[in-house]
Amino acid sequence: MTKLSWTGFSKKTPHERLEHLTSNALLSHEDKEILNSKGLELATANQMAENVLSTLSLPFALAPDFQVNGKDYQLPMVTEEPSVVAAASYAAKLIKRSGGFKTEIHNRLMIGQVALFDVADKATASQAILNQKADLLDLANQAHPSILKRGGGSRDLWFEEKSDFLIVYLSVDTQEAMGANMVNTMMETLVPNLEELSGGQSLMAILSNYATESLVTATAAVDLRYLSRNKEEAQLFAKKMEMASQLAQVDPYRAATHNKGIFNGVDALVLATGNDWRAIEAGAHAYASRDDQYRGLSTWTYDKESQQIKGEITLPLPIATKGGSIGLNPTVQVAHDLLGNPSAKELAGLIAALGLAQNFAALKALTSTGIQAGHMKLQAKSLALLAGAKEDQVASLVSQLLKEKHMNLETAEKLLKKL
């Protein structure tokens, strides 16, 4: 079998990129038609949210050639930010040459909670709930029997005393769905029994987005020779990347930016696949603060023995491939098709890998050339368009802009007038 080449993919027009995908059987002709169309119909959008006026379009891009657990994937990315897709593609290339990504799915359960208050004797209440655990798990399943047929359902029930509350938690295997509605229904069903058993009152019954039972780890390594042809310089970059990773562990100001870079990738794939990015962000930021200090979500270490820089990321990723808006937006379906319609667990692994790739590219740039060199090269295109350049003016305006000391909208507009 001939190896599929991605060289020059970034230089192609959108039309040529689609041709490349269809001619290599990575995209069906039906999916190509969808990508060439307007995407989400207004009538459908009007069913999805309230007071709808229109729809908002964003770039739907592709970061090719991610090798994850020995398999090649092309990752769809929805993002408005220049240099994000370029950075992901760059990192994927180096990581593939160095052995690819490995992912591990630790678990895939959602957690719901019922917060009880006015519980007079929490110890007795806890024991009463514990005695009824099997019945309560059954009751939760009866609230959503279809999940049992799919192999899912409630898995465990436990509780914790926090301040004045006795909080009951339930873990649920939601299979391919994110499961918010399913878990919320189960938690509300449990309320009368929990109130009776505890003698207290329920303040609320709701899913938790702190998805600590849906952790996913991605690891990757990059051979030092890909950091620089000069061995000493490559070692220096590796040391600096390790230090950058340490900085994100000790300084929350840096950690927030470090993690923002990770979410440049995570959000782009979460959004492309129709998942709830607010839920993913909320859970991951809570996880970043799990030991009471906000820290970077990834780490990089320089391994002198293998002469590699090794990265690892763990994220709570309760990702879905069914339900929510996934079946409603045709472009979202194309994203799943491009990925080979992975399971929820497989998709979660890809998202973690992309987050790590994005972080690698950002740290490599930050600790070598600085971020502006690569980012601004691509930002110049946005500035040119913003200044009003027509398609045939963009290239020459960009090359002039890159020569300027102050690359901003004002300069772009001045240069455009001269063109």
Q: Is 394 near ligand HMG (CB under 6 A)?
A: no
Q: Is 256 near ligand HMG (CB under 6 A)?
A: no
Query: Segment near ligand HMG (CB under 6 A), from 87-95, 140-148, 164-172, 286-294?
Result: 87-95
Neighbours of 185 (CB within 10 A): 16
| Shortest distance in whole angstroms from residue 388 CB to ligand HMG | 22
| Shortest distance in whole angstroms from residue 279 CB to ligand HMG | 22
- Judged on CB neighbours under 10 Å (0-12, 13-18, 19+), 247 is middle
Under rule CB under 6 A, how many of the chain's residues touch ligand HMG? Answer: 25
Encode burial over 125-148: b for 16+ CB neighbours within 10 A, e otherwise. Answer: bbeebeebeeebbebbbebbeebe
Write down the catalytic residue from 81, 251, 281, 337. 81
Both tokens assigned to 232? 């000493």
Q: Is 198 near ligand HMG (CB under 6 A)?
A: no
- Asked if 105 and 162 count as a contact pair (C-beta separation under 8 A), the reply is no
| Binding mask of the shown chain, residues 90 to 119, with x at each position contacting ligand HMG by CB under 6 A | x--x--------------------------
Write down the catalytic residue from 276, 312, 336, 346. 276
Q: Give, for 156, the enclosing helix (H) or strand (E).
A: strand 153-162
Report residue 160 CA to chain centroid gap: 30
Query: Segment near ligand HMG (CB under 6 A), from 140-148, 252-260, 301-309, 344-352?
Result: 252-260
Both tokens assigned to 21? 């995908």
190 vs 268, beta carbon nearer ligand HMG: 268
The residue assigned the tokens 């001269």 is: 418
Kindly tell me which residue out of 110, 187, 347, 365 binds ligand HMG, with binding defined by CB under 6 A. Answer: 365
Nearest residue to ligand HMG on Cβ basis: 374
| Count of helix runs (H) and strand runs (E) in the chain | 16, 10
115 vs 366, beta carbon nearer ligand HMG: 366
Q: Please, which residues bridge with residue 66 across strands?
A: 73
Q: Is residue 260 among the annotated active site residues?
A: yes
81 vs 118, beta carbon nearer ligand HMG: 81
- Asked if 363 and 255 count as a contact pair (C-beta separation under 8 A), the reply is no
Both tokens assigned to 172? 């649920």
Kindly tell me which residue out of 17, 20, 108, 258 binds ligand HMG, with binding defined by CB under 6 A. Answer: 258
Instruction: Specify the amino acid at residue 113.
Output: Q
Q: Give, for 277, the enclosing helix (H) or strand (E).
A: helix 277-288
Q: Between the CA of residue 391 and those of 15, 59, 263, 395, what are the distances in Å?
A: 15, 16, 30, 8
Q: Is residue 413 among the annotated active site residues?
A: no
Q: Is 371 near ligand HMG (CB under 6 A)?
A: yes
Q: Is 311 near ligand HMG (CB under 6 A)?
A: no
Q: Is 222 near ligand HMG (CB under 6 A)?
A: no
Query: What backbone phi and psi angles, to 5 degrees, belong to 141?
Result: -65, -35
Instruction: List CB contacts of 134: < 8 A, sequence separation 6 or more.
Output: none
83 vs 175, beta carbon nearer ligand HMG: 83
Q: Is residue 93 among the annotated active site residues?
A: no
Q: Is 10 near ligand HMG (CB under 6 A)?
A: yes
Query: What backbone phi and psi angles, to 5 degrees, belong to 221?
Result: -135, 155
197 vs 362, beta carbon nearer ligand HMG: 362
- Judged on CB neighbours under 10 Å (0-12, 13-18, 19+), 278 is exposed
d(CA 125, CA 190): 15
Q: Is residue 106 among the annotated active site residues?
A: no
| Shortest distance in whole angstroms from residue 377 CB to ligand HMG | 7
Q: Give the three-class secondary structure for 340.
A: coil
Kindly tell me which residue out of 74, 83, 126, 219 binds ligand HMG, with binding defined by CB under 6 A. Answer: 83
| Shortest distance in whole angstroms from residue 236 CB to ligand HMG | 17
Kindly tell me which residue out of 46, 141, 257, 325 binds ligand HMG, with binding defined by CB under 6 A. Answer: 257
Write down the catalytic residue from 38, 260, 304, 390. 260
Q: Is 20 near ligand HMG (CB under 6 A)?
A: no
Q: Is 76 near ligand HMG (CB under 6 A)?
A: no
Query: Which residue ranges make up the site for ligand HMG (CB under 6 A)?
Result: 7, 10, 81, 83-87, 89-90, 93, 257-258, 260-261, 264, 361-363, 365-366, 371, 374-375, 378
Residues annotated as catalytic are: 81, 260, 276, 375
